[in-house]
Amino acid sequence: SEIDRNIARTKALYFNSNPFIPTILDESITIKKAFKRKSLTLPSTKIDINETGIFKSLPTAKTDKSKDQLLLTNESNESSNTTNNMDITLYDNQQTRQENTNSNPFKSTALTTRRHFDKVVTPQWHAPWELSAVISGHIGWVRSISFDPSNEWFATGSADRTIKIWDLAKCCAGSEGGLKLTLTGHVSAIRGLVVSPRHPYLFSAGEDKMVKCWDLEYNKVIRHYHGHLSGVFCIALHPTLDLLVTGGRDSVARVWDIRTKHQIHVLGGHSNTVGGIITNSVDPQIITSSYDSTIKLWDLAAGKSMTTLTQHKKAVRHICPNIKEFSFVSCGADNVKKWQTRDGKFLMNYSGHNSIINCTAVNEDGVMVTCGDNGSMMFWDYNSGYSFQQTNAIAQPGRLTIRYIVL
């Protein structure tokens, strides 16, 4: 038959190189069956294999010998041709079990432990968001926004090379006179703005390789920070130290002393544009995201990278911290991810925004918004990852691409 021919062909191929075929011992088959029965029936009990002379006992988890013991005996059957049959006998000492239960009523006598499943986080209800007002004044893309810590005014930077200061109350009400001031000085698009909470300073960064410090009492530039070899795309202030961190197209993040204008560190390691920066008062004090699809956590004192996060598959365009807890989110062309700030542990994905996500923001109420390049916005519950609202930007003169947002 065909089976016989296959067997003959197999022997012809392998028997010449290894003429001695090992024999299978009955003892090994007995031990294999004992282990298999142990794993399928009572994995936490003790197995004794007698009359084989190989294993008398096997190390298992700490159990009470007086409770349950699984005894596997190898008894000979005279009717069969010296075939060993494995009999399993479970000895249960009911009296000892009852005594242990009475002495410690909280102690379980179960042989296996119950599986614990992760609890599903219930989304928190959030009120729907509506468009309050549309502010016009720039003649180019608005690439950056920064609010005053007192919430009295905010600044916007645009591709028209100007910085505009707006009155927040008048702009929210939609009344006239919202524009307070226009600052000029950059010769290219302004990509980053940050207002100092401890000094009357406004810092700006642009594609013209310039980083400027504006004195808002005199409305003029008082310091320049030179060193970037290409356009500067992001900027951040340290919360407790007089340090300024900038990153750009030269693939590095630079740490500056605000007062002396000296460059303290050059944080190199990315292989593409640095698109986002977060600063913290404790380690990691600096977090950078790059278009090379990585996120780096930095030790500020040593000026070296502590951890590199590589879960993103495409460019990471923006990162945003949560001011209520020690975590942050990153967004890009693939999706939005949530991370633990302390050690960079990945927490969860926010999936469903089918667009290239340029920016994200999180407020104190646990609402996160993500904005795509097709003008779409999605509102999420930060803790559960549930998307409770989706909307599109209202058509305005110019392009619909959303480049920056602040909650």
How would you write the pLDDT of the chain (407 residues) with one tens digit per residue?
Answer: 677 777 777 777 666 655 555 565 667 777 777 777 766 654 444 444 444 444 444 444 444 444 344 333 343 343 333 333 333 333 344 444 444 444 444 455 544 555 555 667 788 999 999 988 889 899 999 999 999 999 999 999 999 999 999 999 999 988 888 999 999 999 999 999 999 999 999 999 999 999 999 999 999 999 999 999 999 999 999 999 999 999 999 999 999 999 999 999 999 999 999 999 999 999 899 999 999 999 999 999 999 999 999 999 999 999 999 988 999 999 998 899 999 999 999 999 999 898 899 999 999 999 999 999 888 999 999 999 999 999 987 776 655 555 556 66
Any idea which residue has 């070296």 for tokens? 304
Q: d(Cα 327, Cα 321) in Å, to the nearest integer? A: 6
Tokens of 245: 């961190």
**Angle, CA of 40, 43 and 44, to the nearest 5°:** 160
> Would you call 76 helix, strand, or coil by DSSP?
strand
Beta bridge partner(s), residue 71: 48, 89
Q: What pLDDT is recorded for position 206?
A: 96
- The CA radius of gyration of the chain, in Å to the nearest whole number, is 34
**Per-residue confidence (pLDDT) for residue 169, from 0 to 100:** 92
Beta strands in 93-178 (DSSP E): 142-147, 153-158, 162-167
Look at residues 223, 228, 160, 165 and name the one whose alpha carbon lies nearest to residue 190. Answer: 160
Q: Which two tokens stand for residue 378?
A: 């999605």
pTM reported for the whole predicted model: 0.68
Can the peptide bond before residue 149 be classed as cis, meaning omega within 30 degrees of 0? no
**Which of 398, 391, 393, 399 minimizes the C-alpha distance to 128?**
391
Cα(first)–Cα(last) distance of the chain, in Å? Answer: 78
- pLDDT of 89 reads 36
* Gap between the Cα atoms of 287 and 329, Å rounded: 11
Among 258, 159, 253, 255, residue whose Cα is nearest residue 213: 258
pLDDT of residue 7: 74
